[in-house]
Structure 1
């Protein structure tokens, strides 16, 4: 009588717990590993599955600046408007990081440029806080509201005024 441990290692199939599979899926997105991410999609992984922080593969790939992974996920139906546990979308993360190509992909896929996080802050507000002028221009061109008030009554214009950026203040005030 032989046991499974007597079989050569090459004939034993590894088994993974659902938690391990989930962790690998999210690590794959975080690292932008296209081939493995494609295999997860082919195997039927829920493209919009959220981890314990509410992150999706799209949020993680976007935040870590993996344009090809973002495109792959969007092509397979990833929802750019899913909120994480803090109310942030994929666009929120790229707005403060300044990842223009990814922001363009997300917006083209229907990302809400005026989505609010749990503090009612928008991607535009984060772009202003982190001085991402090209991102600010893209968001404004895409319909971001420069008059939106967060939970503290602050607007994008007020944020720009607090930073003393005259050019940015004028840009924001030119918007309807």
Structure 2
């Protein structure tokens, strides 16, 4: 019985550390390690203690090579963390235009909402990212979507007194 418990314990911790390694590789833009783990059947859409996937972590850290590898290997571009945020929302929050365009090429859902009802466009407008606001609109972002507080991206741009984004969203 003790041997069985020991084997199960080793398997559990072994799998956990392999999964943890995929997050570190995504965070560090280590495509060699990522490719190796994926070929060794580590789940590409596994989640950490906050619900983030390796893709969400790679995007948030502006790791373009890791992001492209994960997307090419089938990572879900629409996966959500425990707050409902996606990789696209993280890119819009941080102002990472290159990540927004990479994610769009892999069919990310531009109008997906988090658990507060916020969209990527709301993030871009709130944090003053004009280029991202423009490209999201080009990709079909819906300006009329309201979050759980009844506010649109335009409302947040007005609240932030960002005239350029207000002008973009009023067109």
Partner of 1:129: 126
Kindly report structure 1 stretches of 4+ aligned residues shifted beyond 4 Å: none
1:70 aligns with 2:67: yes
Offset at residue 157 of structure 1 (A): 1.1
Unaligned runs of 5+ in 2: 1-10
Distance 1:168 1:145 in 2: 15
1:169 aligns with 2:166: yes
Whether the 8 Å contact between 1:146 and 1:173 is mirrored in structure 2 is no
Whether the 8 Å contact between 2:50 and 2:82 is mirrored in structure 1 is yes
Aligned partner of 1:51 among 48, 67, 83: 48
Structure with the higher fraction of residues in helix conformation:
2
1:36-115 paired onto structure 2 within 5 Å? 36-115=33-112
1:6-17 paired onto structure 2 within 5 Å? 17=14
Unaligned runs of 5+ in 1: 1-14
Larger Rg: 1
Distance 2:48 2:160 in 1: 36
Partner of 1:159: 156
1:16-35 paired onto structure 2 within 5 Å? 17-35=14-32
Report the aligned-residue RMSD: 1.3
Whether the 8 Å contact between 2:19 and 2:43 is mirrored in structure 1 is no
The size of the alignment, in residue pairs, is 160
1:119 aligns with 2:116: yes
